[in-house]
Amino acid sequence: MTFIELMKLFPKEERCINYYIKIRYPDGVRCNHCGSPKVYQETKRKKVFSCNDCKGTFSPFKNTIFEHSSTDLRKWFYALHLFLNGKKGISGLQLQREIGVTYKTAWRMLQQIRKAMGNSENKEFIDTIIEMDETYIGGKPRKDNDRHDGEYGNKNGFNKRGRGTNKTPVVGVIDRLNKIVYAKVAVPDSDGKKLTAKQLFNILQKVSRPGNKNTIITDEFPVYKSVTVGQHYHIVINHKQFYMQGDTHTNNIESFWGTLKRGIYGIYHHISVEYMQRYVDEFCFRYNNRKNNMFDVVLRQAKI
């Protein structure tokens, strides 16, 4: 959707309200209290409906990302348009300048949109080829003379790359045939270990239930062997020797990691561990819905 198309479709606030109501209630609005279809939209308060049966009032925006927001819905829709049209997103400061709100409001709007993106149901990977890999997010590996030895796990003061780093691990699986990705921030366990077989197994189970026979392609990380044993056909690509042997590779998931990191480092520059999963959900959503009308999909998932 172009900016001109957006303005033609939503010239007034009322059009935005009615558009969202049709998406949230495709079969018609029903009372949130008693479920009655005998409801009507109030004349002066377009965001409020009244019920003829229980005599109560309710808002279609309750329990959505728009609840408790005093920002015009037109600005919300414009923010969503800008956010989705940017291949790698948009920063809070840029959104602040575009729609004329405070930075705090712009930041909250983006976080709410990301929350809606993360509401999508995980599709089950059945009888397919799965690439599984992990990446680490948290800054470039560079030397800092002010750091003490060992603070980054290296006596020379370097922040190691890969599995020896203190960065935050993110584990991802991608359905090579259907081009669907699922990624999860791996929280360290009670022993402080970055990645364990239990963590990887739990992430794989989100998309591949017990009984599903899939082909899992991973690198030579030993933990993957215990994750896939007995359930899946496991193929290992040794990255110390080569990155691709015919169809044996993890190039799809690694390409997704590249897009994720370019978005974080190029647009957002730095993200905290507390909100990292929302950013990961954002890029998973973009990848999985690249051929869909993402604007409507986000609105359908706006109920939280």
Quick one: which of 219, 173, 160 has its CA closest to 199? 173
* pLDDT at residue 280 greater than cutoff 60: yes
pLDDT cut 90: percent of the chain above it: 56
Handedness of CA 59, 304, 118, 109 (dihedral sign): positive
CATH numeric code, 129-270: 3.30.420
Length of the chain: 304
pLDDT cut 70: percent of the chain above it: 86
| Residue 151 pLDDT grade (very low, low, confident, very high; cuts 50, 70, 90) | very low
Domain boundaries, the chain: 129-270
**What is the mean predicted confidence (pLDDT) over 243-257?**
85
* pLDDT at residue 245 greater than cutoff 80: no
Query: b/e for 60-90, b at 16 or more Cβ within 10 A?
Result: bbeebbbeebeeebbbbbbbbbbbbeeebbb
CB of 87 closer than 8 Å to CB of 267: no
User: Which residues have C-beta within 8 Å of that of residue 104, sequence separation ≥ 6?
Assistant: none
Q: What is the pLDDT of residue 238?
A: 79
Quick one: which of 291, 238, 286 has its CA closest to 120? 286
First-to-final CA distance of the chain: 25
Pairwise CA distance, residues 5 & 8, whole Å? 5
What tens digit of pLDDT does each residue of 76-103 get? 999 999 999 988 899 999 999 999 999 9
Q: What is the pLDDT of residue 145?
A: 46
Tokens 């957002």 correspond to what residue? Answer: 268
User: Rounded to two decimals, what is the model's pTM?
Assistant: 0.86
**What is the mean predicted confidence (pLDDT) over 211-237?**
81
Q: What is the pLDDT of residue 48?
A: 93
Quick one: which of 222, 132, 130, 135 has its CA closest to 178? 130
| Residue 148 pLDDT grade (very low, low, confident, very high; cuts 50, 70, 90) | very low
